[in-house]
């Protein structure tokens, strides 16, 4: 963090709950000194995630013999990290106000152009592009609404 002041708006309490949830599953692991106790960390990803989106982020710090340490000097903490990441996902759901409702899948009829196109069809141009690979067609979807007709016809 870049401040020691409370965030406000109920977020301090949410972060306390999230932290206790992580602590509850980390087992015998006792954290060593973390960077935030040594200095302010301006512009780190977790600050950005919160400031921009009001969402928590996790930073994993490992203890070694120096700031840049040989891998052999870093204690193995795989299980603790695994448990922590899983619990972080659960706690983030609570932090964000509950589970997210999955959208109901919908189906869309293939456009008429896909009846005659075996490759990549761009409706706005009413054109079939046989030279495009599937990946190239998917890339064109964002800007031009391109469709990979082979898969659309199979789903019909």
pLDDT of residue 111: 58
Q: What is the reported pTM?
A: 0.51
pLDDT at 71: 74
In sequence order, what are the residues at sequence separation of 6 or more whose Cβ sits closer than 8 angstroms to the Cβ of residue 76? none
Render pLDDT for 86-142 as a digit per residue (tens, 0 to 9).
Answer: 899 999 998 988 766 666 655 555 557 788 888 899 888 888 888 888 888 888 887
Residue 105 has what DSSP assignment?
A: P
57 in Cβ contact with 45 (< 8 Å) = yes
SS3 20: helix
Question: In angstroms, rounded to a whole number, what is the distance separating the alpha carbons of residues 24 and 19?
Answer: 9
- For residues 111 and 150, the answer to whether their CB atoms sit within 8 Å is no
pLDDT category at 1 given cuts 50, 70, 90 is: low
Q: Name the residue among 63, 80, 77 with its Cα closest to residue 27.
A: 80
**Under a CB-based contact definition with an 8 Å cutoff, are residues 108 and 43 in contact?**
no
């Amino acid at each position: 963090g870049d401040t020691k002041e409370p965030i406000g708006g109920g977020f301090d309490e949410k972060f306390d709950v999230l932290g206790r949830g992580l602590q509850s599953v980390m087992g015998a692991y006792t954290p060593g000194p973390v960077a935030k106790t040594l200095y302010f960390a301006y512009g780190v990803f977790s600050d950005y995630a919160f400031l921009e989106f009001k969402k928590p982020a996790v930073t994993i710090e490992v203890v070694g013999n120096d700031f840049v340490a040989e891998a052999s000097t870093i204690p193995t903490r795989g299980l603790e990290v695994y448990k922590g990441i899983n619990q972080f996902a659960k706690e983030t759901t609570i932090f964000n106000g509950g589970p997210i409702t999955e959208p109901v899948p919908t189906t869309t009829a293939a456009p008429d152009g896909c009846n005659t196109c075996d490759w990549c069809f761009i409706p706005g141009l009413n054109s079939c592009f046989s030279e495009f690979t599937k990946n190239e067609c998917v890339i064109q979807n964002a800007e031009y609404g391109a469709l990979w007709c082979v898969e659309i016809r199979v789903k019909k």
